Every structure is written in structure tokens, then in C-alpha cells.
Homo-oligomer: A and B are copies of this chain.
């Protein structure tokens, strides 16, 4: 049971966590912190937070757990504002999509990664943003990756782990570098490809018509291109080397497929499509196995 939870950045991710912890009876009080007063008002009106404050240092005072729910580009600033404000016994975690960047920001501010900081990333989200989009089921049967370092306090890690488990998630730990490689492949790469496809097609001559004759397959394939552009630009920038590497590996594979198709090696094309279909079926079984 968390007596006081601080949510710094009350949007889809932090807001959904607060709602889920409340529903689970796993938190007594939620203090929200946001630059935007109207975000705090909306969060209070929706019952996401009990009260709001403007400064991260004020939010973290007396909290068992503080969740930095801001996008990756803003984590460093919040860490700087928390300097000297985190009491012994308070665990701080974040939800940013790139963990190496968070560790680097922490080192820049504190000279080393503080023991109370448990870098984390819930593998959950939608293409929507803001506290209006928050809902308590967001983390059910999802994975949360924590990337502790040697200095991370065992008690802080345990508290953050228990928090995510209380909302129905499975917690996995791994090194930050490994997290950033895996997420570059499964999340950052598809987002970049979806944005690139919509942008690419909109520039073709048939522009108006191309979208006119697109259907459900295209809608699903490009759903993630409706995500917040600045947030995803920041994620790609924060995980630049891995995303560039993933883009290049994918391009090499698409180039090979294009060559096979161009030269009429239809058996090779079929083998690739078939293998992909089988692998996706395996992926769906993995997803189902969690429920």
C-alpha cells in the first residue's frame, strides 16, 4: 500500500497509473504535479489526483513513490528540480521510452545515478495523450521493464516493482542498453516507418486518391502515425544510434525483398511472407498467453 503517490506529469501514462492504483486500493493519496494548471484541474475533476502542486520538489515531499510521468525530453529537467528534495525512503521512477537517456540525465544532474531512482518503462500506451485519455485498465497484463543499476537501492526497486504488479503488470528487469535495443526494434522503428509511409504517400501525385482508396489494412498499419509527433521525435533522438541501426537493418531486408520481387524470385517472396505469417502467429500466442 502506497500512502502517498506523487505523479509528476499527469498525462495518459501517469494518470492511468493513478487510476489503476486507486481502483486496486493500492494507494491512499495521490498528489499530482504539472506545469499546466488546467491539467491538474482536469485530473482532479476526473478523480485522478487528490490535490495538485506546481513544483516537483513539493510533490515528492512525504511521498513513498514518485512517478515521473513526463516525456523523455523533460525527465532531465524534473530530475534537476528534485535535487535535494528526495527524502530517504522515497522511491522515484520514471516511464520514459528510452532508458539510457534517463541514466545519462541522472548522471549529469547528480554525478552518478541516485540510489532512489528506479528507471522504468511500462510497455503500454495508445496513440492518444493527456489525462483525458487515461484509463485504469491500461496496464493490465502488460510488461513493465525496470533497468536498475548497481547503485539502485533494493528497497526502492522492490517498491516500484510492487506498484506495477498491483495494477496487473508483469515486471522484468534488464540493463538499460538492452532495453533500448529491443524497444528500438519493436516500438521506435515501427513508429518511424508508419510516419514515413504516410508522409511518403501524401507526397505522391495521386495524393487525394491514395487515401481515398485506402481501407482497414492501411488504417491499422498507420494507426501509430497518429501519435504525438514531438514525443516520438524526442524518443528517436534520445535513442538515435539504436533507431538508426534498426532502420538500416530493416532497409537492408526490404531491399533484399524488393530485389527478389523485381527479379521474379517469387518462391523467395513466398517463403518470406510465409515465415512472417508464422512468426506473427507466434507473437499473437505470446500476447494471448499473458491473458
Q: Which of B193, B213, B248, B276 sits near A182, CB closer than 8 Å?
A: B213
Most central of A186, A195, A218, A279 by chain B CB within 10 Å? A186
Taking the nearest CB of chain B, how far is it from the CB of A268, in angstroms? 10
Residues on the B chain within 8 Å of A182, using CB? 206, 209-210, 213
State the Cβ distance, A133 to closest chain B Cβ, in Å: 14
Is A125's CB within 8 Å of the partner chain B?
A: yes
Check if A225 is an interface residue, CB within 8 A of chain B: yes
**Minimal Cβ-Cβ distance residue in B for A277:** B229
Q: Mark each residue of chain A from 224 to 265: 1 if its CB lies under 8 Å from any CB of chain B, else 0.
A: 111111101100110010011001111101110110011010
Chain B contacts for A286, CB-based, 8 A: 211-212
Q: Fill in one digit per residue for A136-180: 1 if any B CB lies within 8 Å of its CB, else 0.
A: 000000110100000000000000000000000000100000100
B200 with A253: CB separation less than 8 A: yes
CB distance from A168 to the nearest CB of B (A): 14
Report the minimal beta-carbon distance from A213 to chain B, rounded to whole angstroms: 5
Residues of B within 8 A of A124 (CB): 215-216
- Whether the Cβ atoms of B273 and A195 lie closer than 8 Å is yes
Q: How many copies does the complex hold?
A: 2
Check if A123 sits within 8 Å of B280, measured CB to CB: no
Query: Is B230 a contact partner of A195 (Cβ separation < 8 A)?
Result: no
Shortest CB–CB separation between residue A217 and chain B, in angstroms?
Answer: 5
Q: Determine if A223 is an interface residue (Cβ-Cβ < 8 Å).
A: yes
CA distance A123 to B211 in the complex (A): 12
Q: Is the CB of A185 within 8 A of B199?
A: no
Residue ID in chain B nearest A198 by CB atoms = B276
Contact B233–A269 (Cβ < 8 Å): yes
- Beyond A215-B124, A237-B261, whether A250 also contacts B186 by CB under 8 A is no
For the complex, what is the distance from the CA of A141 to the CA of B182, rounded to whole Å? Answer: 40
Checking B143, B210, B276 against A195 with a beta-carbon cut-off of 8 angstroms, the contacting residue is B276
* A–B pairs, 13, beta carbons within 8 Å: A124-B216, A178-B206, A185-B206, A187-B214, A187-B217, A195-B257, A199-B279, A211-B282, A211-B286, A214-B283, A225-B276, A233-B266, A243-B261
Other contacts beyond A124-B216, A211-B283: 11, CB < 8 A = A143-B215, A186-B201, A190-B221, A212-B286, A218-B283, A221-B223, A226-B281, A229-B274, A229-B276, A244-B258, A244-B262
